[in-house]
Structure formats: C-alpha cells, structure tokens
Structure 1
Amino acid sequence: MKKYNIQREPFLVPTDDGKVIEEHFGMASIPGDLSIAKMIAPPGWSEPFQIPEFDEYTYIIKGKKQFIIGNETVVLGEGESIRIKAGVRIQYSNPFLEPCEYISVCYPAFTIDKVNREEN
C-alpha cells in the first residue's frame, strides 16, 4: 500500500457565482482529515455569513480578499495568510476590481453541511 497520494486532476467544484474551486484533497476528491483547495474569486464575489465547524487557513497568491470576522473587517493581499477558528461568524468576499487567487486549507475537511451559511 502506498504511503502517499499524488493529485494530478483536482476535482472542479461546480459553482454558480463565478468562483473557481479546484479541490486537491478533501471529501469530493481524495478524502482525508483535511481539505486543500486552490480558488479564484472573481471581482465582486461574496458569500453569505457563515459559522463553520472547521478551522480554515487561507493563503493569498494574487489579488486581495476581504474577511468580515464578527464586527471586524480584515483585508489580506498577496503573500499574506490567516487562520479562522471553527465557530467564528465570518463572511468572505472580493469587493475589489481584480480576481483573488488563494489556497484554502480546512481542518477537519470542508463539508457543505459543516459550513452553516446564513440565509440571505
């Protein structure tokens, strides 16, 4: 039995908001304890507020991404990263003019039923 997994064809998660999600490891691709995805959020993109049941680590490759964490707004740019702990109310968005390319790592692995998105 191999002691490693190589991901050459990440799972392209279907979206209806213009966001590109390539899951390299996670419940939709190669299941495990965590998920790793490369994402591109187009200008003007946003998600509803949510209270995830997992820690999420984000590393910005290009562009900027906005985080509303509780009542605080944080903007990260290229080369910066953040950890959002499970149980924190957060909204992710890209209100800027350029796309934002980033890596997201979730532990435990992302599942849609553990995101707990608020209804608009």
Structure 2
Amino acid sequence: MKKYKIQDNPFVVPTADGKVIKEHFGLASDKNSEISIAHMKAPAGWSEPFQTPEFDEYTFIIRGKKQFIIENDIVVLEAGQSIKIERNTRVQYSNPFTEVCEYIAICTPAFSINSVHREG
C-alpha cells in the first residue's frame, strides 16, 4: 500500500456565481475531514455573503487580488501574499477588482457547507 496519493482529478464544485473551485483534498473529493485544499478562480466583481466558519482558513494568492472584510477590517492581498483567518471569525470574501483572482484555499478541519454559516 502506497503512503501517498497524487490528486490529478480534483472535484469541481458546482457554483452559480462564476467562481471555479477545484477541490484536491477534502470532504467532496476524498471524504477527508481533517483538511481541504482547493484551487480557486474568482472572477472580477465576484463576492460572497458574510460568513462565520467553524474552521481556520488559509489563503495564498497566485494571481490578481482578493479583498477580505474581517470583522471591521478591510484587507486586500495580492499575488505572493497569504493570510490565515481563525475559525469563528466573521469574514466576507470578494474580488471587486477588474481581473480574475487565482488562489489556493486550505481549511482545517475541511470546508463543509454546514460549518461555514453564511449569512442571508
């Protein structure tokens, strides 16, 4: 039995907002509840409702910019920057800019629609 797994067929999460989500590891792709790792592309003008997740989320920006409203702070990250947002923190993610934002998101424990607690 091999002690590694190469993921070359990530689960493509269906979305209605133009965002592309390819989960390489996590609940949707391999039923792993400890961590989720996803490659994302958020189109220009994209945004999500505020949420208060039950997981820590790490984001690494590959290309473009992404805006975070974290409680009362507005933070903008650019390519090469990363952030950790602790669980149970109210946050909104968006791309109010003119180009696609490509990034990697890692959640511990794994992202779950039941533990993200989106508003509205």
TM-score scaled to structure 2, two decimals? 0.98
Deviates more, 1:45-54 or 1:3-12: 3-12
- Alignment partner, residue 110 of structure 1: 111
The count of residues paired between Structure 1 and Structure 2 equals 119
| Counterpart position of 2:87 | 86
**Counterpart Cα distance in 1 of 2:118 and 2:31:** 22
Give the SS at the match of 1:22: strand
Cα distance in 2, alignment partners of residues 64 and 31 from structure 1: 30
* C-alpha distance in structure 2 between counterparts of 1:2 and 1:111, whole Å: 28
Percent identity over paired residues: 66
Q: Equivalents in 2 of 1:103, 1:11: separation in Å?
A: 14
Q: Which amino acid aligns with 2:26?
A: G
Question: What is the match of residue 4 of structure 1?
Answer: 4
Superposition deviation, residue 72 in structure 1: 0.5
Moved more, 102-111 or 3-12: 3-12
Give the drift of 1:31. 2.3
Structure 1: where are the runs of 5+ without partners? Answer: none
What is the distance in 2 between the residues matched to 1:28 and 1:2?
22
- Does structure 1 residue 62 correspond to structure 2 residue 24? no
- State the distance in 1 between where 2:27 and 2:113 align: 10
> 2: CA distance between counterparts of 1:4 and 1:52?
29
Unaligned runs of 5+ in 2: none
| TM-score (normalizing by structure 1) | 0.98
